[in-house]
Structure 1
Amino acid sequence: MANRVFPALLKYWRGRSGLSQLDLALAANVSSRHLSYLETGRAQPSESMVLRLMAALNVPLRHRNDALIAAGFAVHFPEAALEALADAVQSAISRMLQQQEPFPMTVLAADYRILQYNAAAQRVFGQFMAEPRLLAAQPLDMFALILDPALGKPFVREWSKVARHMLMRLQREVSRTGDVRLASLLDRAMRYPEVESSWRYPDDNAETYSTLEVWLQRGDLTLGFMTTLTAFSAPGNVLLDELRLESYFPLNAETRVACERLASDQSIQPLAPARDARSGPLA
């Protein structure tokens, strides 16, 4: 089984990268003949060769583990729970969440599930939920918050533009990584009301944006944010490799002042955490 699976995985990831056998051989410092033998199953790779090839192809750590298993080796990269990450990592995440105040920041898993959020995210997003009680009844992800009519959708200005931008980005991630979790998220997102089937696929003619801007409006309260994603550099842990910190920065002075006012309002109740997600700021 291993002799058949690893060659298929190697060829699959090389095809996704757009590299020829010669290109990969040069990048991984291996002979093109040996690489050809590995892809056809005529040669069995060593553990170090698997790691070298997967690194040259920039394969995500989770899938590098899959390649090792397919070649008959044990996994190399651990997958610790968020709370089990090194103290220094947890401290860094906690500091970033706190430094972002009074503006929102969320910590996202690879499938956009919200694992952590700062107090500002509780205060701000809590103002734009149609049915806040539903937040405690389901695992939260960023696509549900924007696409679900029972959550944030009614309050997103130019909702179709924001939704299409998010779905096109997700589709490109699915295409680039082949991650089944992202593919499942894409299928689920496409089933929300008013999501058009054409949004599943990138449109090269569509207007592109360097950043995602989101405007939220409810009554007299209007807030505009630019979002950015931050990733950890060269992690050796699967979870950390996939972790993303999404930061929200005010687009105008009115949003900045409103966030500062919300931060000082002691009457605002925090969001209820999702049942199976570790929500809220890190300790």
Structure 2
Amino acid sequence: MTIVPTGSVGRSPTPPDRGVGPLLRAWREQRRLSQMELALRADSSARHISFVETGRSRPSEDMVLRLAAHLDVPVRERNALLLAAGYAPHYPETPLDDPSMAALREGMERLIQGYEPYPALVMNATYDVMAANRGITMLLDGVPESLLLPPLNAMRLTLHPEGMAPRIRNLRAWRGHLLEQMERQVALRRSEPLRALYEEVAAYPLPPGTPDEEPGAGLGAGATAYFALPMRIEHEGRVLSFISSVSTFNTPMDVTVAELAIETFLPADPATVKYLHSLLT
């Protein structure tokens, strides 16, 4: 599947009546750091941090970036902090279909194609699917066309009661894992689009007949022992088991790149390995 850009996915612009001081204080409190702890990390003083947060002192551009780094502020929000302080954004936001992104696009496509026959996909910050390989396409068999209209969204496809959810054998556990993951990202990114997506998918009803626990999921005789929570999904009468792994780019210098993630699904048992190789090779 060719990489498809879906536009900006960031939160609403910083309100014009909020200066950089209150925004930095909000990030510090969210990270549960005292002014002294932040000052020690950023090679500053608690007094200066206090002055910045109350608006008595205007931080330099370097100080804004330094504080943002120590507060683990997402790249998009670092630009918002700079704008609130009266500086130009530091990080560009280059569309994924821009010619300058050609090497990145080609590299990601080679990566997920090279992972076949196992499933792999590329997502943005709100789980829109930018690219996917044949392993993912196989898992989407039977999903209604209405859910496959672009932009595809991984969370909707997985949790919608007419999507993949009815075929996920351990849906309650897998759904809980995904919602907890989204909760952490909402807290980290403070993204309104991401929060809206979380509220949407969290409200999806469970498919009729969803068991409280997957049959045979206990630790009784014959039960499979997994090293991480698997997604166990039915496909053409077989139950396939996958362990999910998500990768992001180190030290991104572009907002678009900072918000990309590559998710790969590693077969969790020999039967899944054998079936995928017979199906896609």
Q: CA RMSD in A?
A: 2.1
TM-score, length-scaled by structure 2:
0.82
CA deviation after TM superposition for structure 1 residue 77, in Å: 0.5
Match of 2:188 in 1: 176
1:59–1:210 Cα change, 3 Å? farther
TM-score, length-scaled by structure 1:
0.81
1:141–1:73 Cα change, 3 Å? same
SS of 1:26's equivalent in the other structure is helix
Match of 1:109 in 2: 124
Confirm or deny: 8 A CA contact 1:4 1:41 kept in the other structure.
no
**C-alpha distance in 2 between matches for 1:227 and 1:148:** 19
5+ residue gaps, structure 1, are 196-208, 265-283
- In the alignment, does 2:95 pair up with 1:78? no
CA deviation after TM superposition for structure 1 residue 41, in Å: 0.3
**C-alpha distance in 2 between matches for 1:89 and 1:149:** 34
Match of 2:253 in 1: 236
- In the alignment, does 2:264 pair up with 1:247? yes
1:104–1:4 Cα change, 3 Å? closer
Task: Give CA-to-partner distance per residue, 1:233-273, whole Å, 9 cap, x none.
Answer: 11101111111100011111221122122214xxxxxxxxx
The letter of the residue matching 2:72 is N
Match of 2:230 in 1: 213
**C-alpha distance in 1 between matches for 2:273 and 2:227:** 21
Task: Give CA-to-partner distance per residue, 1:60-101, whole Å, 9 cap, x none.
Answer: 100001101111111111111223354442333122112211
The letter of the residue matching 1:108 is M
CA deviation after TM superposition for structure 1 residue 154, in Å: 1.3
The letter of the residue matching 1:16 is Q
Task: Give CA-to-partner distance per residue, 1:201-248, whole Å, 9 cap, x none.
Answer: xxxxxxxx9744111114422211111001111110111111110001
The letter of the residue matching 1:241 is A
**C-alpha distance in 2 between matches for 1:261 and 1:44:** 63
1:86–1:60 Cα change, 3 Å? same
Higher-helix-fraction structure: 1
- In the alignment, does 2:133 pair up with 1:118? yes
Match of 1:25 in 2: 39
**C-alpha distance in 2 between matches for 1:212 and 1:164:** 11
Confirm or deny: 8 A CA contact 1:211 1:228 kept in the other structure.
no
SS of 1:82's equivalent in the other structure is coil
Match of 2:63 in 1: 49
5+ residue gaps, structure 2, are 1-14, 208-225
**C-alpha distance in 2 between matches for 1:212 and 1:83:** 35
Match of 1:187 in 2: 199
Confirm or deny: 8 A CA contact 2:139 2:235 kept in the other structure.
no
Among 105, 108, 132, the alignment partner of 1:93 is 108
CA deviation after TM superposition for structure 1 residue 177, in Å: 2.7
Match of 1:67 in 2: 81
After TM superposition, what 4+ stretches of structure 1 lie above 6 angstroms from structure 2? Answer: none
CA deviation after TM superposition for structure 1 residue 138, in Å: 4.8
SS of 2:151's equivalent in the other structure is coil
The letter of the residue matching 2:89 is V
SS of 1:83's equivalent in the other structure is coil
The letter of the residue matching 1:236 is M
Q: Report the number of matched residues.
A: 248
**C-alpha distance in 2 between matches for 1:92 and 1:130:** 29
CA deviation after TM superposition for structure 1 residue 118, in Å: 1.5
Match of 1:271 in 2: none
**C-alpha distance in 1 between matches for 2:228 and 2:51:** 44
Task: Give CA-to-partner distance per residue, 1:167-186, whole Å, 9 cap, x none.
Answer: 12211222233222221111
Confirm or deny: 8 A CA contact 1:130 1:149 kept in the other structure.
no
1:191–1:138 Cα change, 3 Å? farther
The letter of the residue matching 1:174 is V
